[in-house]
Amino acid sequence: MGLLRTILTAPAVAPVRFADWTARQVLEAAEREVYDPSRIRQRLAELSERFDRGELSADEFDRLEDELLDELEEAERYQGLR
C-alpha cells in the first residue's frame, strides 16, 4: 500500500518538495554570504580606506567599525556552529 500511495501522490507532492528544497538552497546561500568573515573583513578594509581618504569623520568610522566588528563576531560564531 505504501508504494501505491507514493506513486499516486507523487504528482501533488513533488512540486511541494521541490519548492521546499529550493527555499532551503536559497536560504543556505544567503547565510553563507551574510556570515562570510572574509566579506566582512573586506568591508572593514574598505571602511579604513574611506577614513584614510577623509571621507568619514572619526565618529562615523568608529560607529561603522563597531557595527562591522559585531557582524564579524556573529559570523565567526555562526561558522563555529556549522
Q: Which phi-psi region, left, alpha or beta, contains residue 54 (left: φ > 0; alpha: ψ -120 to 50)?
A: left
User: Which residue range is the domain that position 54 belongs to?
Assistant: 37-82
What is the band of 82 on the pLDDT scale with cuts at 50, 70, 90? low
Q: Is residue 51 part of a domain?
A: yes
Q: Is residue 27 part of a domain?
A: no
Q: How many Å apart are CA 35 and CA 41, to the nearest integer?
A: 11
What is the band of 54 on the pLDDT scale with cuts at 50, 70, 90? very high
Domain count, the chain: 1
For residue 10, pLDDT beyond 70: yes
Give the global pTM.
0.67
For residue 32, pLDDT beyond 90: no
Q: Is residue 61 part of a domain?
A: yes
Q: What angle do CA 78, 44, 72 make, to 5 degrees?
A: 15
Q: What is the pLDDT of residue 57?
A: 96
Are the C-beta atoms of 53 and 14 separated by less than 8 Å?
Answer: no
Taking residues 15-28, report their average pLDDT. 91
